[in-house]
Amino acid sequence: MERLISKTKGDRWIWLIVILLSVWSLLAVYSATGTLAYKKGVASEQFLIKHLVMIIGGIALMYFSHLLDYRYYAGISKILMVITIPLLAYTLLFGANVNEASRWVTIPIINQTFQTSDLAKLALITFLARSLSRKQENIKDVKKAFLPIMGSVCGVFVLIALANLSTALMLFGVSILLLIIGRISIKQISIVCLAGLILLSGVMLLGPRRKTYISRIETFLHPEKANPDKSFQANQAKIAIATGGVFGKGPGNSTQRNYLPHPYSDFVFALIIEEYGMIGGVGLVLLYLVFLYRCVLIVTQSPKAFGALLAAGLSFSLTIQAFANMAVAVGLGPVTGVPLPLVSMGGTSILFTSVAFGIILSVSRDNDEKKEKSQEKVIVGEISALA
């Protein structure tokens, strides 16, 4: 154990945030899965143990990911992109249909489903960071830099948007942020945004889930005219938040978990506010804000463009996802299927999120090691001068 702790490097605040989010996740999921366990005729502890195994597995992946030099992820990103594009297409055509969406692929033998968009987020962000850092000398060149980057962003966007529009929009937004940081010209970024708008319009008007997307937007914009069944989730979440008050009902005392369709995943933030009150909700928001702040420090301290872009892209992705989930729970956005990072129940989401945290910590670890070496050189130089 001491050897493991001694090898744990990187930003200590991020490690602390991961531990706090994991503990909070266990408490929330255990409370939220009571009704689900009753419906399935099993004990709540069964879901808790499965979730605990996933969290432990996620922390293990994060630990090994942070030990690997972040520069290796540049090469890995090419392999991930080669795997991701066909896998997203396969998911659309042959994936497991859950809640009227083909987002999951069933892994043979273990019979466990995983959401391919989780892999796609990691693949695209690492690939963009690699491409932008390596093409800085030719960053204005349309053929060598712009077209390959635009093709990867738009291709992944369409393949994800056909089944999961909210995740696709967030990933597209993160990609635009990376293009801005990577010194792509405003003109070229405008072209990417225009292409994304055209593709979005096509998905909204012609895609297989067009009716679902339009219905959710109409329900959000005009809740008074919406079918009660369509606004049921949002209304129950609002009741949970309203009854939570300042201090909440206490851990395990939620009543809306019996009515919310997904209190352990999509609407876990509403359940947290109900049980822990406004104080708990604000505390959770602060954890993600502190995480973003620590990541910004890592980005500004990184001497290499790839490390800075990698940490920026992954941190923006996780933070935007967190605030999108919380915004939906409090009624500031249409209902989506976006989980709360490291808090919502969900196997592949936790594992891929943990890898993303691990990569950020790998960049942080490299920054710390370079800083230590620089300080050692200064000390040696001072000693030599005195001698």
Give the whole-angstrom CA distance, residue 334 versus residue 152. Answer: 27
Q: Which residues pair with 102 in a beta bridge?
A: 97
Whether 174 maps to a domain, the answer reads no
* Residue 276 located in a structural domain: yes
Token pair in block for residue 78: 């090419």
Q: Say how many CA atoms lie within 13 Å of 103 toward its Cβ.
A: 23
Residue 27: inside a domain: yes
Instruction: Check if the beta carbon of residue 276 is closer than 8 Å to that of residue 244.
Output: yes
3-state secondary structure of 99: coil
Give the Å distances, CA to CA, from 73 to 31, 183, 218. 38, 21, 41
Q: Report the domain count for the chain.
A: 1
pLDDT digits (tens, 9 = 90+) for 220-257: 877 767 666 677 888 888 888 998 888 889 888 888 88
- Whether residue 256 lies inside any domain: the answer is yes
Spatial separation of the C-alpha atoms in residues 382 and 259, rounded to whole Å: 68
Q: What pLDDT, on a 0 to 100 scale, did the predictor assign at position 18?
A: 94
Q: Tokens at residue 128, please?
A: 């963009």
What own/partner pairs with CB < 8 Å and gap ≥ 24 does 278-283 have?
A: 278/244, 278/245, 278/246, 278/247, 278/248, 279/246, 279/247, 279/248, 280/244, 280/248, 281/241, 281/244, 281/326
Token duo for residue 340: 């709360």
DSSP character at residue 68: S
Q: How far apart are CA 106 and CA 91, in angstroms?
A: 10
* Of the candidates 216, 208, 325, the residue with the CA atom closest to the CA atom of residue 265: 325
Contact between 94 and 141 (Cβ < 8 Å): no
Task: Look at residue 8 and tell me if it is in a domain.
Answer: yes
For the sheet with 101-107, list strands across it: 96-98, 101-107, 112-115
Distance CA 361, CA 297 (A): 12
> Is 321 inside any structural domain?
no
170-191 burial by CB neighbour count: b if 16+ within 10 A, else e? bbbebbbebbebbebeeebbee
38-66 pLDDT per residue, tens: 777 787 788 888 889 999 999 999 999 99
Written as six digits, the tokens of 303 are 């001497």
Instruction: Yes or no: say if 171 and 164 are a contact pair by the CB < 8 Å rule.
Output: no
Give domain status of residue 87, yes or no. Answer: no
Distance CA(255)–CA(252), nearest Å, equals: 9
Residue 153 lies in a domain: no
In the predicted model, residues of the chain with pLDDT beneath 70 are 1-7, 95-103, 106-112, 136-144, 224, 226-229, 347, 375-387
Task: Give me the sign of the Cα torsion angle 268, 270, 271, 275.
Answer: positive
Length of the chain: 387
Domain span holding position 26: 1-67+233-304+340-379
| Residue 35 pLDDT | 77
3-state secondary structure of 339: coil
10 Å CB burial of residue 361 (0-12, 13-18, 19+) is buried
pTM, entire model: 0.91
Distance of CA 225 to the CA centre of its chain: 33
The Cα–Cα gap between 234 and 330 comes to: 8
Give the whole-angstrom CA distance, residue 52 versus residue 47.
8
Q: Are 312 and 295 in contact (CB under 8 A)?
A: yes
H helices present in 162-304, as ranges: 165-181, 186-206, 210-221, 232-244, 268-301
Which two structure tokens, joined as six digits, stand for 290?
Answer: 């502190």
